[in-house]
A and B are shown apart, each in its own frame.
Chain A
Amino acid sequence: DAGVTQSPTHLIKTRGQHVTLRCSPISGHKSVSWYQQVLGQGPQFIFQYYEKEERGRGNFPDRFSARQFPNYSSELNVNALLLGDSALYLCASSLEGGFYEQYFGPGTRLTVT
C-alpha cells in the first residue's frame, strides 16, 4: 500500500515568492496535518484538516494557509517567503480527525534564498 506522498521533494525559492506544497494521504485516511521542521529541531504543527475543514492551527503567521480537497489530498501555501521559512515540510495523515496514529510522509525540503 502506498504511504503518504508529498511533492515536490525539493524546492528552491527566492524571498518574497509564493510556494505550494502538495500531499496525498494514505488511501482511506480523511485527515491531513502539516508540520514544519527547521534543521536541528523537531517538527512543529502548522495545520490540521479533516473532511475538508480546518480542525487545528499552530502558531504560524497568516502567510501560511492550507486546504483539503474532496479526495482528501491537501495543499500548503506560503506567501511572501522569508529566509526563515527554509525547512522540511512534513505532511501526516490519519484515519479520522485528531492526532491518533499519524503517518508521516517523507517531506518537502524548501530552501529560500
Chain B
Amino acid sequence: DAKTTQPTSMDCAEGRAANLPCNHSTISGNEYVYWYRQIHSQGPQYIIHGLKNNETNEMASLIITEDRKSSTLILPHATLRDTAVYYCIVRGAGANSKLTFGKGITLSVRP
C-alpha cells in the first residue's frame, strides 16, 4: 500500500471549517483514500473514502486532487467533539487489502 504524509497537528475554531491535508504521492490507480478518526479513549471511526471523485457524506467532504497525489478532508462546521486524531489511509481495491494506519494528524478544535 502507498504511504501517506500528514502534518502532526492543527487547530481550528469551533464553527469554522477544518481542512485536513494528506499527501499520497505514490498512490496507484486502483487505490482508495480512506479517512478514519479516533477520539480519545475510543476505537477508530470510519469517516469517508474515495477513489478520484470528490465525496460528501453527513460527516465530511473529501476532496482529491486531479493527479490524486493529495487530498483534503473537510469538516464543514467543526465542533469541540471533532477534536481527535484523524488518519488518512491509502488502501487497495481488493477486500483483503489491509488498513495501514500512520500516526495521523491531531485536530484540536478550540472554543
Contacts and interface: CB of A to CB of B under 8 A. Distances in A.
Does B bind A?
A: yes
Nearest to B87: A42
A82 B100 CA distance: 24
Given A104-B44, A104-B45, A99 B101 contact: no
Q: How large is the interface on B (under 10, 10 to 19, 20 to 34, 35 or more residues)?
A: 10 to 19
B28 to A, nearest CB: 17
Contact of B44 (A43, A58, A100): A43
On chain A, which size bracket covers the interface?
20 to 34
A103 B104 contact: no
Interface core residue of A35, A56, A99, A100 (most chain B CB under 10 Å): A99
Given A96-B95, A99-B96, A99-B98, A42 B43 contact: no
Interface string A9-25: 00000000000000000
Contacts of B94: 98
Given A56-B96, A97-B95, A4 B43 contact: yes
B97 interface: yes
A41 B43 CA distance: 13
A105 B43 contact: yes
Interface in B28-52: 41-46
Interface string A73-113: 00000000000000000111000111111111111000000
Contacts of B99: 43, 45, 99, 102
6 contacts: A42-B101, A56-B98, A98-B96, A99-B97, A99-B99, A106-B41
Interface of B: 41-46, 87, 91, 94-104
Interface of A: 4, 35, 40-45, 55-56, 58, 90-92, 96-107
